[in-house]
Amino acid sequence: MAGEIVYADLKVPSESEPTFARTFHSSPQLYAFQRPHWQKITLWIACTGNIILLVALIILLNSTCQVCPAYWVLHRDKCYWFQSKNPLKTWNNSRDDCLARKSQLLVIQDMEDMDFVTENITNVHYTYWIGFSLSLPMKNWIWVTGSQVSKSLFQEQKHEEDKHCGAIKNKKIISEPCSSILRWICQKDPVLI
């Protein structure tokens, strides 16, 4: 056998014949595009899930869901925190505490805000610092935002000696000495998601 030459007929697929036809040449009824039934169902479920997720994402991006931190109360477009436990603080220390919470002392815009605040005060006999004080030397009552206090909310437009800071008690806005030790209310903008 040494030196013998063996000849064989080999069938090599041509370049023009498609790959899937070469793969399934022995059974012409099968095509590469045919899938088992479970694969079709899985593909359909995946596509449907993606569509649902896309719709949910669009809805979330167009929503204005407002969220407040724990222990804060959402009302309209603000979050409110009512300090009701000890220690009590002066007006300046209360203002600083609100700033440390990335907020400010309460600013009441209208009677709806006033009603909300007075409904959420746990004990009507407590007095709470809010965010206004007497601007000296002009002697104007101003909020911590720099705007003037509305006469419809605070009738006591004159100032009493030593009472230069604003508070709320018994559903009324009053002035108190800034060195008094009281509870306080902070407010800030909610987080939009």
Does 153 lie in the same domain as 102?
A: yes
Does 82 lie in the same domain as 143?
A: yes
Please tell me the total count of domains within the chain.
Answer: 2
Residue 1 lies in a domain: no
Token pair, residue 150, equals 């509305």
Kindly tell me if the per-residue pLDDT of 42 is higher than 70: yes
Domain that holds residue 33: 19-62
Does 149 lie in the same domain as 57?
A: no
User: Bigger pLDDT: 56 or 118?
Assistant: 118
Does 171 lie in the same domain as 92?
A: yes
Q: pLDDT tens digits, residue range 57-87?
A: 776 666 678 899 999 999 999 999 999 888 9
Does 171 lie in the same domain as 76?
A: yes
Q: What whole-number distance in Å separates Cα of residue 112 and Cα of residue 75?
A: 10
> Which residues are bridge partners to 140 per DSSP?
135
Rounded to an integer, the average pLDDT of 120-142 is 87
Does 82 lie in the same domain as 35?
A: no
Q: What whole-number distance in Å separates Cα of residue 109 and Cα of residue 118?
A: 14
Rounded to an integer, the average pLDDT of 160-180 is 89
Token pair, residue 104, equals 């400010």
Does 177 lie in the same domain as 124?
A: yes
Average pLDDT, whole number, for the chain? 83
Residue 31 lies in a domain: yes
Query: What per-residue confidence (pLDDT) applies to 159?
Result: 64
Q: What whole-number distance in Å separates Cα of residue 3 and Cα of residue 1?
A: 6
Query: What per-residue confidence (pLDDT) applies to 132?
Result: 92
Residue 75 lies in a domain: yes
Does 94 lie in the same domain as 156?
A: yes
